[in-house]
Chains A and B, each alone.
Chain A
Amino acid sequence: MPSMTKRLYGVLLAVLLSFAATFAAHAHAQLLKTSPPVNAVIASAPTQLELVFNEPVSALAISLILPEGGALDLIDRTSSGQTMTVLLPSGLADGTHVLSWRAVSVDSHPVAGSLVFSIGAAGGSAVADLPTSSSATAPALWAAKGLLFVALLFGAGGAIFALAAPLPPRGRHLALVLSALGLVVAPLSLGLQGLDALGLAPDALVMAQSWLAGYSTSYGATVAAVSLALVLGLLALLWPAARAAAWLVWALAAVALALSGHAGAAEPQWLTRSAVTLHLAGILFWVGALLPLWLWLAQDDDSADRALAQFSRFIPFAVASIMVSGVTLAIIQLGAPCPAWFTPYGLILAAKLILLAVLFALALINRIRLTKLALTGEAAARRWLRQSIAAEIGIVLLILALVAGWRFTPPPRALAQVAQAAVSSAPLYAHAMDNAAMADITIVPGHAGPVVMDLFLTDMAGAALEPLGVTVTLSSPSLGIEAIRVDARLTDGVWRIDPLTIPVAGTWLVDIELRLSRFSLSHLQAEIDVPSP
């Protein structure tokens, strides 16, 4: 239709013209002051940040780079005008934050910059914190997590096994009781986790702060998912019509434990998280079947045979998934053979592997010899099988008690990162030059965080250069952080920037602007790879 095409052309023309207009315009507003001031260290997290300009601006992109490395998009919480106000979310962690901002003045040329500030203490991208806990909290947390695992695996596991074969009446009751126990322990473990994270004693459980701290860690998501799984499991056990809900229980419980913990946090995430999920899925089936089978085998009837046959049919898949995922996770967590294998983490893993070996041996004997005999009705075989299953239950309980302790032992992978950090505190050096001047750049310490940058300036012949002023601009387009601009001060023949905060590790572009004389300016540029602390 002619009018439509005309309209379309009109819009296209307007768009093209507006692009042309942006090429012509080149105005910019100036940042006069900020609240908090640049590089400030504030005791507690502020509620808002203010940037005051000399003319009204509109915000284009506002993001807050966090000390632990992620970034929050805060454009929706920013109000424009001569003072740009950014409302900060609550719950900001301690450490160095960077507000990377981009705005446009009335005349449409963008201005950008970065506001660096620290909460509590200045610190660059955080390394995995080795937990320090009070001596009473740690055992309490360990016990709570162990109990939670037991409740989940035997309680929800029972509901899952009910998908394959009906549960004996006592088995159903036990599963119900364990699930209910799990629902009580889960929130308690969350509070204890918060205490552990904050380093408090158990009597601080009455403080809301501990619960909030626990919830804000990744463990909060795990507890939420586990609780939901337990509730659904209870429903599935109580009402036969809701039996199919056990599929959802299985999925939820398997994913829940992948949401937190060391294993799921390693790289590559897609591999480790799915490995943990698979590991748990297999375990849920196997362990969930143990109690019902033990109870069934006490009686000699068709339902018992059916349960045994169904278990025998599906268990190979469960064991296969457990072994494959377990091996994958162990390789990733341990890394190459090194002394770190003998850390507490490694020792717990060794103990777990020994117990698993015994478990698999028992399971193998059950499968190869005893199951067939028990199915044909031989009483002795059934007795042996029952005792073997009882032994398996015991070993599983031991393993669960062990793995609950992994909370307190960093895997070798994390220890390796800490070791590497110690090496990276040596100073960083870089050299920049153009056809008239050279600069030697030294950054101490040589990693992200609060640093001191020294510049030694010479001309091409090596004689000292004496510019009127030196301004350094740090930017990192790859990290999405707008420029941080600071003036250097001449101290003892060296131009020094102190303090300077490099907020995040990565590749940074350093631009040194030398005011050689009243009318002449020179730019020297260098690229520096800054490691994390």
Chain B
Amino acid sequence: MIRTVSRLAVALATLTALAAPAFAHSTLEVQEAAIGSSYKAVLRVPHGCGTEATHTVRVQIPEGFFAVKPMPKAGWDLDIVTGPYQNTYLNHGTEVKEGVKEIVWSGGNLPNEFYDEFVFRGTFADTLEPGTFYFPAVQECANGEEAWIDTTGAEGVDMPAPSLELVPADESHAH
């Protein structure tokens, strides 16, 4: 009886260790998307800068992600920065040459003890190659910032940019 319980406890512990995802880096909730499909990006912000509260979150939209719409957040001001795209994309039959390049949620207050998610939608262009796609993001606090902008993809970097894997269209399940 005791043996079974202890084995169960060990199994549960290891399962939760595996299942519990990274909780101190800023990451995306869904880490895979199909090329050419639309994607709802949920940027998770698990802590502030050291012990300070975050008041601004900025996300850079790299080339290849278009038709971007951020989700407003109560208590935060939402701004977008538009600019020209390098390529032209087709959005439901209409040609788009420019769009959102940066999303800024500002004027908020997310204490270090709390967690929040920042959401935006967009579409991945057909012309993208499979691989890692990064959304560099910066959290700004009263006396500092957390810059999740390392896009080298190296193991064990301090501040990796939130990323996902782009897979070819036929392989993925979602659309």
Chain A: residues with CB nearer than 8 A to chain B?
10, 14, 17-18, 20-21, 24-30, 32, 54, 105, 107-109, 515, 518-521, 523
Contact A18 B22 (CB under 8 A): no
Query: Could you name 29 residue pairs across A and B whose Cβ atoms are closer than 8 Å?
Result: A10-B7, A17-B17, A18-B14, A20-B18, A21-B14, A21-B17, A21-B18, A24-B21, A27-B22, A27-B24, A27-B25, A28-B24, A28-B25, A28-B158, A29-B24, A54-B50, A107-B20, A108-B17, A109-B22, A109-B24, A518-B147, A519-B58, A519-B60, A519-B149, A520-B149, A521-B149, A521-B151, A521-B159, A523-B152
Q: Is the interface of B mostly helix, strand, loop or mixed?
A: loop
A18-B17, A518-B147, A521-B150 are known; give 9 further A-B pairs, CB within 8 A: A24-B21, A29-B24, A32-B51, A54-B51, A108-B17, A515-B147, A519-B138, A519-B149, A520-B149
A39 CB to closest chain B CB (Å) equals 20
Chain B residue with Cβ nearest A520: B149
B145 to chain A, nearest CB (A): 9
Q: A107 near B60 (CB under 8 angstroms)?
A: no
Complex: A523 Cα to B47 Cα, angstroms: 25
Q: Is the CB–CB distance between A25 and B20 below 8 Å?
A: yes
Cβ contact within 8 Å between A17 and B18? yes
Q: Are B112 and A54 in contact (CB under 8 A)?
A: yes
Contacting residues, chain B, for A515 (C-beta < 8 A): 147
B150 proximity list for chain A (CB < 8 A) = 521
**Count of residues in B whose CB is under 8 Å from the partner chain:** 27
* Residue from B23, B112, B136, B160 within 8 A of A519 (CB atoms): B136
B50 touching A30 by the CB < 8 A rule?
Answer: yes
Q: How far is the CA of A18 from the CA of B13 in the complex (A)?
A: 10
Q: Taking CB as reference atom, which chain A residue is nearest B135?
A: A519
A21 to B51, CA, bound (A): 27
Shortest distance in angstroms between A255's beta carbon and chain B's nearest beta carbon?
A: 48
Closest residue of chain A to B62, judged by CB? A519
Q: What 8 A-B pairs come out closest when comparing CB atoms?
A: A27-B24, A21-B17, A17-B14, A519-B60, A519-B136, A26-B22, A521-B149, A21-B18
Are A105 and B18 touching (Cβ within 8 A)?
no
Could you give, for residues 139-175 of chain B, a 1 whenever the CB lies within 8 Å of some chain A CB and a 0 otherwise?
0000000010111100000111000000000000000
Knowing A10-B7, A17-B14, A520-B136, say if A32 contacts B21 (CB, 8 Å).
no
Contact of B10 with A by CB under 8 A: yes
